[in-house]
């Protein structure tokens, strides 16, 4: 459904991104509801992230998934084996938050021609979405899924409406910490599911269909409210 495009960040870095547009035959034909920037896990802009973008496009949004690993290694497209996880972690370790913010910023700008822009991120991308909610202009809302690193950066108050999704079996993100986060920001809905880290990804062993469906329905309702 989508296509690869090239974006140029404020410092001149050129990165690829996957862009999916709403199907012209849908009820929203001609005019998107808004736009969503989709932030990758540590596995690059792989088939799963593309399918997530396609899903939001089918719901009437322009979806752009910037390749945040391009600064370290271009065209990263990993699976979920232990080797892939090790490789993804190694690359992620070389991508600074500052690099990621520059690349998210240009994706938000590119998406803004479609209307209001929201951001959704998964795993590492959830953390990037959390950072973006406090640092990047032009966003209307943010939805981090199980972002490792959020609990270490709870002092970064989101500047836009935010909805968080976490799993209570997540070994990386202690549920007690998530409860404290929810208590600190009562104005932002934080949901905890009976699920593991990565529960949204249907290519991972931790996939939880019920939690993924419920989280996506809540997220879509949130985007309808804040984007259109």
Which residues have a catalytic role annotated?
A: 123, 170, 197
Beta-carbon count within 10 A of 70 CB = 23
- Give Cα 62 distance to the centre of its chain: 14
Task: Please tell me the distance from the alpha carbon of residue 44 to that of residue 46, in angstroms, as a whole number.
Answer: 5
Contact 108, 117 (CB under 8 A): yes
Q: Let me know the angle formed at the C-alpha of 4 by 2 and 6, rounded to the nearest 5 degrees.
A: 140
| Structure tokens given for 147 | 């972002």
Contact 54, 27 (CB under 8 A): no
CA contacts within 13 A on the Cβ side of 149: 19
* Helix axis angle, 124-135 to 97-111, nearest 10°: 70
C-alpha dist (Å) from residue 210 to 142, 199, 203, 207: 22, 9, 15, 9
């Amino acid at each position: 459904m989508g296509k690869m495009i090239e974006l140029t960040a404020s410092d001149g870095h050129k990165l690829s991104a996957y862009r999916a547009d709403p199907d012209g035959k849908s009820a929203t034909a001609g005019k998107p509801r808004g736009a969503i920037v989709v932030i990758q896990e540590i596995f690059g802009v792989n088939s799963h992230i593309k399918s997530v973008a396609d899903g939001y496009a089918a719901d009437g949004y322009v979806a752009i998934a910037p390749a945040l690993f391009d600064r370290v290694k271009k065209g990263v497209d990993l699976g979920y084996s232990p080797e892939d996880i090790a490789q993804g972690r190694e690359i992620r370790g070389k991508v600074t938050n500052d690099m990621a913010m520059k690349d998210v910023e240009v994706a938000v700008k590119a998406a803004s021609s479609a209307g209001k822009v929201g951001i959704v991120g998964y795993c590492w991308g959830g953390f990037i979405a959390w950072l973006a909610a406090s640092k990047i202009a032009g966003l209307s809302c943010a939805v981090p899924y199980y972002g490792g690193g959020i609990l270490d950066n709870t002092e970064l108050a989101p500047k836009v409406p935010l909805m968080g999704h976490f799993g209570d079996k997540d070994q990386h993100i202690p549920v007690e910490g998530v409860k404290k986060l929810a208590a600190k920001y009562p104005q932002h809905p934080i949901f905890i599911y009976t699920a593991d880290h990565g529960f949204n990804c249907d290519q991972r062993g931790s996939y939880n269909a019920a939690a993924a469906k419920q989280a996506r329905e809540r997220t879509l309702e949130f985007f309808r409210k804040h984007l259109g």
